[in-house]
Every structure is written in structure tokens, then in C-alpha cells.
Amino acid sequence: MPADHTSALDPSVSRSPRGSLLPWFFRMAWRDSRRSRQKLLFFSLSIVLGIAAMVAIGSFGRSLENAVEQQTKALLGADLLVQSRDVFTGPQKEFLDALPATQSEQILFSSMVYFPKADGTRLAQVGGLSGDFPYYGEVETFPTNAWTQFKRGEGALVEESLLHQFDAEVGDNIKVGELTLPILGALRKVPGDNEFFASLAPRVFLRMESLAATELLGDASLARYRRFLQFDTEAQLESAVTQLRDRRDELQLRFDTVEERKENLGEALRNLYRFLNLGGFVALLLGSIGIASAIQVHVRQRLDSVAILRCLGATSGQAFTIYLIQGAALGLAGVIAGTALGVGLQQALPLAFANFIPIEVEFAVDTWSALRAAGAGFLICMLFALLPLLQVRTVSPLAVFRRDLDHVPSRDPWLYVVYGAIAIGVVAFALSQTQRWQHGVAFAGGLAGALLVLFTVARLIVWAVRKMKWKNLPFPWRQGLASLHRPNNRTLLLMVSLGLGTFLILTLHLVQHSIVRELMPENQASKPNAVLFDIQSDQKDGILKLLEEQNLPALGVSPVVTMRIASVKGRSTEDLIKEKKIRNWVLRREYRSTYRDHIADSEEMISGEWVATASPGADVIPISMERGIAEDLGVGVGDEIVFDVQGIPVTTRIANLRKVDWRRVQANFFVVFPSGILEEAPGFFIVTTRIQDSQQSAAMQRVVVKNYPNVSTIDFTVVLKVVEGIVEKISFGIRFMALFTVFTGIILLITAVLNSRFQRLRETILLRTLGASSGQVMRIQVIEFLLLGFLASLTGIGLAVGAHFLLTTFVFKVGFSVPVLHLALAIVLNCLLTLSVGLLASRTVLKRPPLEILREQG
Amino acid sequence: MISDAILDVQNLSRTYTSGGHALTVLDDVSFALSRKQTCAIVGPSGSGKTTLLGLCAGLDLPTNGFVSIAGKRLNDLNENERALLRNEHIGFVFQNFQLLPNLTALENVMIPVELRGERGSEKQAEQLLQRVGLGDRLDHYPAQLSGGEQQRVALARAFINRPHILFADEPTGNLDAETAKKVVELIFEMNDELDTTLVLVTHDFELAQRTQRVIRLRGGRVADDSATVSA
């Protein structure tokens, strides 16, 4: 025996000094992962999309905040905006003119505009502008020099979408009231305006000097009078704001500062950011469940190795550390890939949400935000990974001899600690992303509830399939069904991931469907779908005659008188505002009330009695009030309210409360006076009608605008199309986020199939050995995947219908209806998706000779 | 009880609960082994051989009685301390080799030394693999080795920490006769070189006869404890 062979056994040879075990843990983790690395790396994909979403959104959120910070002043176009619903009064003008600021004036009102070339009309938001507004930021037009021409008073600027609608071009004419003027260019972006709302009411800008020529501004017209102010110093601005606040009751001016705008916009954007983040978080949670499931399979395959290591003297902590490192590496790989994808994805977010954001958001990766999101994602992923990893701690070294005896402690106390940490983590994240703690708890609770339902249903299905007798079914069916409850099956994971994806997407779809269905005029046959308003008293008969000539029914004629609240139950509005018990806008708003002797068919009296008429000499006038506004004002039947009807105080008593169906296209009112009181007060009329098609609509609008330029028409079929478009845009945003969950579900499906491939392989070999044809084996798998897809869809659909019912009944308050065909389609799509992904992932099991693969697996 | 005992087993009992029923696998077993002594534990299937081995090696704890290794009572140690003791004083050879499938032969042998945080394990492992005749198979994985070769790797791993006591559970149970013979020779040779106490669990009467003492178990109790003729 050579001398050098014996030295290792020589008892006299002293042992080397001991060092840290840390490097060895990493070495062992690396060695042990041989032949599993590719598989583990693929499993790490489960969290890639969740991490990517969170990183992109985190960084995007920071970009949003930066953009708000940088473009603050352009948010308003001025330092201060002061506005009134009425023409500025003498004292108001005096106050404003005395302020040390450069000023621009704007009058905004709704009116029909006419495009002679296309012979088309449309309701637009007309703005007359004087001065050098905007003082900050720029008005974006096409062509770019159009704004300069506009300031010289050469014509009008028209919303780009409106030009497209009427095929109008620069140089064509537009008629606003009695004034026809050339179109100078298309309006794209105006500091202070939200392009999202501009799509509802397209803008047409004129110079103030031209406004009078339109002859549109009657006394009762619904116009807003605005002043944009630019101050030289901050102190001047602050002094002006202080005066506006202190003299609010006297001046009756509403104002808006850059700071307020910034705060409001910031809050709105933060809400968007939080909402998106919650969407990303759901994908991350699902991915983390996938990681936990993959690690569980990996750890199960390593239990023998752990027992051997324990025999050789490794403590449970040391063995656990090795697999913890593997789990962490797997999570880290997912986090790194997810972060890289997230950074790329961040470029897509501003595009996806451009319609909601009134500012330019530049793409910039915020390292800290991205790292924070990646870190949070890694933490959540690791918490989930710990659930299966903790098994390693409980492996007894005795398992090298026998695994049949109950020598493994059934529950590791650390398991409960990890469950607790996951619950705290999810709730804490949800709370950090919602404004109210109730919402955070509801989100976490809803998610936990959905997961619990999915898990429970999956368990029940597995149990039921095992318990039931399938003797009479053909062989592939029996085998396919058995696959659902075979040991180490992935049924639970697949049911949860596919079910959750189906649930999220379908809930969004169903709610969208119900809202749009509720709005569509075809569901309200014979109900009004067009409204003519701003009809002056002397124009009413003419309009009604004109409608008759056009064969259009006048379905409702409502007089409107504007008024404000002076006191409630004997207390002045000013006192009530100071008390802050009633919301400001409820007290300050302009009430557009009507008078009539009957209750409308969109209304239902819920308390008190209807008073049809009253005499002008009465001290107290009985009125009808809408239930919601009465609740806001804190009043009920019998309470007294004094209205300021254009300078004249009118004392009223609430005779009854009404429930109003606000969704109906007709004139609905908060306050209804009895006949005989307001007939002589200055006001205007609203007329509702029903048009059959766009041709009839265009013809009617043309005639009305030609004869009564001040009368505006809203064709709700067009508005509803716009609203539908907006709903579509919003749901696109939501779906965009839900897609992360769906794709994560698909990745989970692939990993689950790959994970159980070895198991399938053994069965396939056995089946083939026993004489099963490859066709039969294929049929077994097809049945298994179809069953999985079907059962997961069914569970997801059940949850979605439940959530849809709750949302439509309690949140959106629209009719609950379930489109059965859509649900059937969802089932078919889900089954096809599961089948194709499942077969694709297990194609090697089906195609290659089984022994060849077995040899590969070692 | 002997004063220089490396392994001292006193009144050892082990009862398992399975399906709600108590099952006594080992009942009042006592014996002691001194340094360098070789001993075989024999008996029919289900007689408690493997359970006894597991208890002696500190892989499990007895229901009654105690085991001492190198003067340390295993009952007084927690799981981590018993793991340390296994690493310091015990070597294992199993019927089904129990090599880590993803580690090479060399890496498998290195583990016990590496677990102690010692350096230079590679050289020691190489020497031992050469000693068992596998100097050219260092980088082979268990799946690439024959049964006999795998058992020789397991032997090298068992001896690398120069253990005081070697537990071998049916070391030839999965080998053909010729390979088994070579492996047995190696076990005894290396055991002799290191003055290790050997505890052998086997069905093989011939193999048991090569040890100095044979303990026969029947129904979990010691049926016979005698010195062998050859010893």
C-alpha cells in the first residue's frame, strides 16, 4: 500500500483548524443543484412578471411624482385661477383688478358648433380668451404656429378629435353661434386642462373680442367666468390667496392654486399608482405560490439527501441553510430577471395610461424605487418559499433506514411564524397602497377569501374524484380522472392559479359589461336619448314646433330656475360652512331647480306628500327634495330651507322626499317646486326627445343650431359612445394589470406540468409496458388537462359572478346580469389554453422513447 | 458495563406508535463494546437490528434506557449535539450506499470533513479514494459508478473523519458475492488501520463470523451474545 494512501487514515495526523462553514453552505447548495439548475431557473420565472410589474410601477410612480414636481406650474398655466358661475360683479372686478398681477380672462360655456363643409353640428365647450395665457407651459397645437396666429385674433382653435370627426382641416370654417371664422389649427394640449375630459366635451377656443359676435351669451347661460393670474413674487400670490380665503363669503369667488392642483393631481396619480401596484402584487403573490410549489417538489426530491447529510453530522440548521440558499438563489434569479423586465416595461406604462395622465411623463429608471420594489418582492417570495423549505428542518437522520414510521414531527412551529409573517406582509402592503385601512383589509381579506375558496374547492374536487366510482367510464377517462388525485399531483396549484386568473379577468369583464349595458340607450326603448337645453322662455314654443316638424316627440319639457341655498333650518349658509358638518359644495352649489304639478316617471316618492300647486302669496312654499341631497344637507320632511332665487329669498318647507333614477336620460332635479311659484322667475327650458338614428340627429341639430344658435343639443348616443370608449380605456388599464396575473398563471401551469413530468413519465412507461398505445396515453393527458381547465374555470367563474353581484349591487349600483354566453366562452378558452400549454410542456413525455428520458433523468 | 467502552448500551427499549397501537421494536437491550472491538448484530427481519443501530448512532432516541458513545450519554444531548457527535466519532456504511446523487465521488467523501469546517479535505478524500481503488473515478457521479464502486466511495466517506466507531448496515446486501467479498476485506482492513470499533448489522452468517462478537436479536430482545470462534 503506497505511503501517501495511508496518511488520511493515520490516527497520528492532526486535523486541520476549523473555519467558517458559510462558504461550504454555498458550495453544497451549488453542488446539490446540479442537474436541477435549468429546471430551478425556469421555476424562477413564476415571479418574474409580478416583480416586473412592481418594479415598473414603483419606478413609474417616482417618474410621475417627478413630472408633477417639474411641471407644477404648467398644471394651471398660471399662479392662480379665479372663477365664478356668473359674470364678475362690480366688487369682484374691483378686487381682481387691484391685485398686482398680470391677468388673462376666459369665458367658458357649452354650445353647439357647426362645420359648414361637412354640414355637421356638435356640442362643444367654447372658450373665449384674452391676455397672454398660458403664463407657464405651452399650448400644443397642430400646426405648431397656430397658437401665435390665434393670439393675433385670426380665427379659432378646435379640438383635434372634433376636426377628425367632421373631416375638417386647417383653413376650413367653423360657425359658433352667429359667428363664422376660419380654423387656425387643432388643439392638442392646454395647460390646466385634462385631455381625458376634453374627449367628452371637445374644446373650441376663440379670442374674447370675437365672443360678442357669436351672440351666445344670454343672461341665463351656463357659463364660467375665469381669470388666470401671474404674480411677480410668491408673497404677492400668498397675499392674494389669503384675501380670497378671508373674504370668501363676501366675494363668492372660487379659486384654484398651483399647490392645490398639484396636491389634487398628486393624490389622483398616487391612487392610480397604488391601484396598479395592487394589480402587480396579486401577480407577485400568485407567482410566489408557484415558487413555493416548485420548491416543495424540489425539497421532496431532496429529502433522502437531507437525511444522509444529517447522518453524516449536519445539524438540521445546516441542512436547512443549504436549501435556503438554493431557494434564495431561485428567488434572486426571478427578481433579477423581473427587475430587468420591469425596467423595460416602465416604458410601456406611460403609453398604456397616457389617457389618464394630464402631464408628460418622461421615462427614467428610479434606482431606489426599483430596488425597493424588487426587495419587497424578494421578501414576499422568500416568505412563501420558506413554507416548503421548513420541511428540511424536520427531516430525521433515521429516514436513511426507514421512512415508514412516524418519526417526523407533524408541524414545525416556525411554520406558523411564517404564515403569520405572510399574513402581516400582505395586509401591510395592502394597507400601504390604500387610503383607508378598511380598503386595505378588504383587499387582503378578499384575496385571502378568493384563495381560500379556490383551495377548498380544489381539495373538495380531489376528494370527490377519489371517492367516486368511475367503473363504467372508458379507460382513458378513468386514468385522466385518477391523475387529478395521484400522489404529488399539481391539481391544487393549477386550480388556484388558473382559477384566480379567470376570476380576476372575468370579474372585470362582467362589471364592464353591466355598466355599459345599463348605459346603452337600446335597453331603454322609447326613453329619451337626446336633450336640448339652454332654451330661453321665448324660444320654447319655437323649439317644440321645430321638433314636431322633424317628427320628433317632445318627451319632456322642464323649466329650470337657478338658485342658491341661503339658510337651512334657520341657520345661514355661512354659519353652516364654518361648522363644517355639511360638505361645502352641497351648501355652495348652484341649484338648478324646476317646477311642476306631477311626479316624473323616473322618480318615486318615499316620504311626505306631493303638493301640486302653491299660490305666489304663500309664506312658506312646499317643495320636493331628492333623498340623497337631503341626507347631505341633514334635512327631512318638514324642515325649512331658504333659497336665494336670483336675489329674492324664498322660504320653503320640505313636503316630500323623492328617489330619482339618475341613470335615465332626462332632466332630473334635486329640488322640485310646485306649479304657481317660479313661473315668472328668469330661467330656461330643457326639452328631451328620442332620435332614431345619426341622420335624424344630424338633421335636427342642424335646424336647431341654425334657428336657435344659443340652444345646445346633447345626443346621448354619441356621448354614450364616448363614455363606452372611456370605460374601455379604463378597463384596458385594469386588464393590462390583470394580464400579469394571467401570464403568471400560464407560467405556473407550465412549471407544474414540468414538475410532474417525471411522475407522468413513470406512469407512461408503465402504461406502455402494459400495452397502452401512445394514442391512449395522449387521450389520458388530454382528459386530465381539459378537466383541470374546466374545473378551474368553473371555480373562477363562480367567484367572478359572486364578486360581480357584490360590485354591481353595492358599488356601481347597476342591474346585475350574467351573460351566459360569455361565461361559456370563458370556459372554452380556459380549457383550450390549459390543454395546449399542458400538452406543449409535456410533449417530450409523449413523443420521445420513455427509456431514453429515464436514462437522462438518472 | 466495561470501563473503557466506546459504545455502552444499557436497558435500551424503543416503542413506536403506529396507527394508534404501541409497537415495541426493541426491549431491554444491553451490551458494551470497547475500542477496536468488532461486533455483528444478527437476527431475522423485524427483530430490531436496524432500530438498534439507529439508536446506537444517535439517529433516534430510546423510549427507555440509554446509549453512551465515547463516554457521552446520547439522551443528554440535543439533536444538534448528537449531529456533532456523529460527525466527530461515527462513520456509516449503508446497504444502499446512500451517496448524494448530485455530488461526485470526491465531493461525497469530502462532506464529513467539510461539515467540520476544516480545510484540506480534498487531498484527504483523494487519498482515501485511491486507497479504496477509485483514484481514477474521483469526478464520477454515483449514477456512473457500479454498486461495488459506490460502496467503496461510501467506505472512504465513512473513514475520512477517522471515526471511533463504524456502523455498517448490511454493507454487502446489494452486492454480488465477488464484489461483496472485496468490500468486506476493505472494511476490515481500514477498520484495523484506524483501530475503529465496528458494529455490523447483517443477515450474512459468514460475515458475522468475521467479527469478535455476535449479538443475536429475536423479537427485539437479545437472544444470544457471544464471542465468535474465529475471533
One-character DSSP codes across B127-167: HHHHHTT-TT-TT--GGGS-HHHHHHHHHHHHHTT--SEEE
Among A217, A243, A265, identify where a domain stops.
A265
Give domain status of residue A189, yes or no: yes
B18–A405 C-beta distance less than 8 A: yes
According to DSSP, the residues that pair with B67 across neighbouring strands are B9
Residue pair A360/A71 in contact (Cβ under 8 Å)? The answer is yes
Residue A183, in any domain of the structure: yes
Cβ atoms < 10 Å from Cβ of A224: 16
Which range among A132-146, A806-820, B125-139, B198-212 shows the weakest confidence by mean pLDDT?
Answer: A806-820
What CA–CA distance (Å, rounded) separates B42 from B213?
11
Strand residues in A496-553 grouped as ranges (E): 530-536
The DSSP call for residue A664 is S
CB nearest A20 (choices: B88, B113, B117) = B117
Give the span between the Cα atoms of A311 and A305, in whole angstroms: 10
**Radius of gyration (C-alpha) of chain B in whole angstroms:** 17
Mean pLDDT of chain B: 89
Q: Which chain B residues are within 8 Å of A400, Cβ to Cβ?
A: 59, 92, 94, 98
Beta strands in A335-468 (DSSP E): none
Measured between alpha carbons, how far is A583 from A601 in angstroms, rounded to an integer?
30
**Strand pairing partners for B13?**
B64
What's the angle, vertex CA B148, arms to CA B145 and CA B152, rounded to 5? 90
Per-position DSSP letters for A197-240, written without gaps between them: HHTTS-EEEEEHHHHHHHT---TT--EEEEEEEEESSHHHHHHH
* Nearest-neighbour CA in chain B from A328: distance (Å): 19
Total domain count, chain A:
2
Cβ-Cβ contacts under 8 Å, B134 against chain A: none
Peptide bond just before A649 cis, omega within 30 deg: no
Q: Quick check: is A572 in a domain? A: yes
**B54, B83, B99 member nearest A398 (Cβ):** B54
Whether the Cβ atoms of residue A257 and residue A80 lie closer than 8 Å to each other: yes
Which stretches within A714-769 are classed as H helix? 716-755, 757-769
Size of interface A-B (CB pairs under 8 A): 140
Q: In this model, does residue B217 exceed pLDDT 90?
A: yes
Interchain contact B100–A (C-beta under 8 A): yes
Q: Which of residues 13-72 of B touch A (CB under 8 A)?
A: 16-18, 50, 53-54, 57, 59-60
Distance between alpha carbon A161 and the CA centroid of its chain, in Å?
Answer: 24
Is residue A480 situated within a structural domain?
Answer: no
In a domain, A336, yes or no: no
Q: What is the mean pLDDT of each run of 10 residues along chain A (858 residues)?
A: 49 60 90 87 86 85 77 80 86 91 90 86 86 87 90 88 84 91 90 64 88 74 84 91 85 82 74 76 84 85 90 92 94 92 81 66 78 88 91 87 52 86 87 76 85 89 85 84 77 81 81 71 65 85 91 88 91 84 79 90 87 86 92 92 90 92 74 91 88 79 81 74 66 71 78 71 72 80 89 90 86 78 90 86 65 52
| Rounded distance between C-alpha atoms, residue A775 and residue A534, angstroms | 75
A720: its cell numbers: 354614450
Peptide bond into A358 cis (omega under 30): no
In this structure, the strands spanning A648-660 and A712-715 are unpaired
Write down the pLDDT at residue A10. Answer: 58
What's A598's DSSP letter? S
Nearest Cα of chain A lies from the Cα of B112 at a distance, in angstroms, of 6
Nearest to A755 by CA among A197, A56, A43, A22: A43
Q: Check CB contact under 8 Å for A16 and B118.
A: yes
Distance from C-alpha of B156 to C-alpha of A9, rounded to nearest angstrom: 10
The residues that bridge with A714 in the sheet, in sequence order, are A531
Sheet holding B221-227, edge to edge: B90-93, B165-169, B197-201, B38-42, B213-218, B221-227
Region B35-59+86-227: CATH code: 3.40.50.300
**Across the interface, do A397 and B100 touch by the CB < 8 Å criterion?**
no
**Contacts with A403 from chain B: Cβ below 8 Å:** none
Beta-carbon contacts of A75 under 8 Å, excluding residues fewer than 6 positions away, are: A68, A137, A191, A192, A258, A261, A262, A265, A358, A359
Residues of A in contact with B16 (CB under 8 A): 405-406
- Chain B: give the shortest CA distance to residue A30, in Å: 10
C-alpha span between A322 and A22 (Å, rounded): 10
- Determine, for residues A313 and B112 on separate chains, whether the beta-carbon distance falls below 8 Å: yes
Is the peptide bond prior to A143 cis by the omega test (within 30 degrees of 0)? Answer: yes
What H or E segment, with its residue span, contains residue B12?
A: strand B5-18
Q: Which of B50, B100, B160 is opposite residue A305, by nearest beta carbon?
A: B100
Q: Give the containing element (helix H, strand E) for B68.
A: strand B64-69
Q: Cβ of A313 and B124 within 8 Å?
A: no
* Interchain CB distance below 8 Å, B101 and A305: yes
Q: Across the interface, do A8 and B131 touch by the CB < 8 Å criterion?
A: yes
* pLDDT attached to residue A681: 86
Distance CA A316, CA A321 (A): 9
CA angle B171, B177, B180 (to 5 degrees): 30
3-state secondary structure (DSSP) of residue A34: coil
Q: Which residues from A are below 8 Å from B86, CB to CB?
A: 311-313, 397
DSSP state of A538: G
A588 lies in some domain: yes
Nearest CB partner across the interface for A311, out of B85, B86, B124: B86
Cα radius of gyration (chain A)? 35
In chain B, whose CA is at the least distance from the CA of A37?
B102
- As a residue count, chain A comes to 858
Report in angstroms the alpha-carbon separations of A411 from A274, A293, A316, A387, B122.
Answer: 37, 18, 15, 11, 38
**pLDDT at position B196 over 90:** yes
Q: At a CB cut-off of 8 Å and minimum separation 6, what does B44 contact? A: B218
**Cβ-proximal residues to A157 (8 Å cutoff; 6+ apart), any chain:** A141, A146, A147, A150, A183, A184, A185, A186, A187, A203, A204, A205
CB A87 within 8 A of CB A253: no
Nearest to B117 among A5, A18, A401 (CB): A18
Distance of CA A407 to the CA centre of its chain: 52
CB atoms A315 and B118 under 8 Å: no
Contact criterion met (CB below 8 Å) for A313 and B88: yes
Q: Cα-flanking dihedrals φ and ψ of residue B68, to 5°?
A: -115, 135
Q: CB distance B112–A312 less than 8 Å? A: yes
Give the span between the Cα atoms of A82 and A224, in whole angstroms: 10
Single out the residue in A265, A294, A326 at which a domain terminates. Answer: A265
The amino acid at B115: L
Q: Is A828 inside any structural domain?
A: no
CB A572 within 8 Å of CB A644: no
Question: Could you write out the three-class secondary structure of A687-715?
Answer: EEECCCCHHHHHHHHHHHHHHCCCCEEEE
Q: Between A7, A9, A305, which is nearest B190 by CB?
A: A9
> Is 50 exceeded by the pLDDT of residue B72?
yes
Can you name the residues that pair with B167 across neighbouring β-strands? B92, B199
Q: Sorting pLDDT into bands at 50, 70 and 90, what band is B231?
A: very low
Last residue of a domain, one of A679, A696, A718: A718
| Chain B residues with CB-CB distance to A3 below 8 A | none
Indicate the residue type of A537. Answer: S
Residue A637 domain-assigned (yes or no): yes
Residues of B in contact with A16 (CB under 8 A): 113, 118-121
- Selected residue of A309, A312, A398 to mutate for chain B interface (largest B Cβ count, 10 A): A312
Its ipTM equals 0.91
Residue with cell 415598473: A56
Coarse DSSP helix, strand, coil percentages of chain B, rounded to the nearest 5 percent:
35, 30, 35
Supply the pLDDT for residue A4. 47
Domain span including residue A657:
523-718
In what order do the strands lie in the sheet containing B21-34? B21-34, B5-18, B64-69, B72-73
Shortest CB distance from A9 goes to which of B16, B94, B162?
B162
Phi, psi of A559 (to 5 degrees): -75, 145
> Distance between CA B65 and CA B76 in Å, rounded?
12
The answer to whether the beta carbons of residues A208 and A130 sit under 8 Å apart is: yes
Q: B122 to chain A, minimum CA–CA distance in Å?
A: 11
